[in-house]
Amino acid sequence: MADKKDKKKKTEHLRQRVLDRRSRQDATHARNSVREWANAILFAAIAALIIRALFLEAYRIPTPSMESTLLTGDFLLVSKLHYGARTPMTIGIPMTGIYMRNRPLPYFRLPGFMSVRRGDILVFNYPIDDEIVSKKTNYIKRAVAVAGDTLGIRDNMVYINGEEEKARPTFEQHYEVQVRERLRLSPSKVRAAGGVLLHASGDRYRINMTSRVADEMAGWPEIEEIRPFVLPASFNDYPRQPFTFARGFNGNYHHLPDLVIPYQGQEVTLTPENWHIYADLVTRYEKNDVDRIGDRFVINGDTTDLYTVRQDYYFMMGDSRDNSEDSRLWGFVPEDHVVGRAWIVYFSWDGERYLPRLRRLFDRINSR
């Protein structure tokens, strides 16, 4: 009997040892699995940060200012390789909005394989925000003029270096439409054709649409006349604008005098009459202290009316020309505010119909 009890105890002891060893193995395996998952997540997060910082960043179109080229609800990939990525400008926690304010880092732009060209669609930091550059709101517009170009706007037509801007079929603008006597224009018919009815007064309508839609609408039996809507040069709406750049012109955004887009090394003669053009450039973007004593300028303690521009600038406009807050109102975009080049639409959501726009998936954005 004693031998049987001893044998049973030994068997139980061995069994317990096996169970303990298995438990330890299971615990070790679990710890290893957790460590492997943690390493995988950490690696993925680091890879995502590197890709976002140096190669590609996702962006969503929130407004109709670029229609019909880009639609509200488009999701884009923005390439930072084209113009070169910027090194970090702040110290903060990645993937959050937490960063050290008033502690900007010195930055430089990595080499890209091209410079900004006229007609490129850019994502950039909204210049007149009061934040460190990389923390400013992201905007997207078309570079209608680059550093050194001369730009003017006459009767809502853009001229670059004396030549009329090439019209693109996706450009939208406001048109005035007059219908025949005793007829009315159906808003649903306008919408189905691709236009947006903005205003109606008697037999006159104002519609935002492309030239293609306007040409199609001109053949409708109820239409008497269609012509682009142009504000008279004498109509001055800038005093109501909050933007210093716009307020300085005696006119409106359908009429701008010829302006040379600032470029690095350009020497500008400052005057009370042109200060509204260069005020943000000199003080906000290039960080100079400026005092004005009558008609004189004191820049960083020196009395002078000459200023040498330190970087290139761009003039940005939306493709929906009468539905865009852009450089016509707030001025130039500095080179250090450029985030990247709009590259591809990877997804698009129609918020009115609550459906994806399948035809736009992986649609490459052609700037030319």
| pLDDT (tens digit per residue) in 133-176 | 988 999 999 999 999 999 999 999 999 999 999 889 999 999 99
Give the residue carrying structure tokens 């985030």. 339
Rounded Cα distance between 75 and 321, Å, is 21
Rounded Cα distance between 194 and 285, Å, is 40
On the 0-12 / 13-18 / 19+ scale of CB atoms within 10 A, 138 is middle
Stretch 57-80: mean pLDDT, rounded? 93
**pLDDT at 63 > cutoff 80:** yes
Q: Supply the Cα-derived Rg of the chain in whole angstroms.
A: 30
- What is each CA distance from 67 to 5, 70, 138, 210, 306, in whole angstroms? 89, 5, 17, 9, 40
Per residue in 281-331, pLDDT tens? Answer: 999 999 999 999 888 999 999 999 999 999 999 999 999 999 999 999 999
**pLDDT at 1 > cutoff 60:** no
Is the model more confident about 240 or about 326?
A: 326
Helical H segments across the chain, by residue range: 2-54, 187-193, 211-217, 244-247, 275-279, 327-330
Stretch 62-90: mean pLDDT, rounded? 92
Domain 55-149+317-326+335-368 part of CATH 1.20.810.10: no
3-state secondary structure of 6: helix
Stretch 79-99: mean pLDDT, rounded? 83
Count of helices and strands (H, E) across the chain: 6, 22
The predicted pLDDT at position 35 comes to 76
User: Which candidate, 255, 323, 272, places its Cα nearest to that of 65?
Assistant: 323
On the 0-12 / 13-18 / 19+ scale of CB atoms within 10 A, 173 is buried
Give the residue carrying structure tokens 């990247």. 340
Average of per-residue pLDDT values in the chain: 88
Phi-psi group of 29: left, alpha or beta (phi > 0 → left; psi -120 to 50 → alpha; rest → beta): alpha
Rounded Cα distance between 366 and 121, Å, is 9
Question: Using omega within 30 degrees of 0 as the cis cutoff, is the peptide bond preceding 186 cis?
Answer: no
Lowest mean pLDDT among 34-43, 233-242, 337-346: 34-43
String of DSSP letters for 120-168: -EEEEE-TTSSS-GGGSPEEEEEEEE-TT-EEEEETTEEEETTEEPPP-
Q: Sign (positive/negative) of CA torsion 197, 200, 320, 209?
A: positive
Per residue in 3-51, pLDDT tens? Answer: 655 666 666 666 666 666 776 666 666 677 777 777 777 666 666 666 6
Beta strands 306-308 and 313-317, pairing class? unpaired
CB atoms within 10 A of CB 231: 17
What pTM was computed for the model?
A: 0.87
The predicted pLDDT at position 51 comes to 67
**pLDDT at 177 > cutoff 80:** yes
User: Which candidate, 312, 308, 313, 315, places its Cα nearest to that of 266?
Assistant: 308
CB atoms within 10 A of CB 49: 12
The predicted pLDDT at position 237 comes to 75
Lowest mean pLDDT among 30-39, 67-76, 140-149, 211-220: 30-39
Is the model more confident about 90 or about 114?
A: 114
Lowest mean pLDDT among 99-108, 131-140, 192-201, 250-259: 99-108
Rounded Cα distance between 209 and 114, Å, is 33
Per the CATH hierarchy, to which homologous superfamily does domain 172-228 belong?
Answer: Peptidase S8 propeptide/proteinase inhibitor I9 (3.30.70.80)
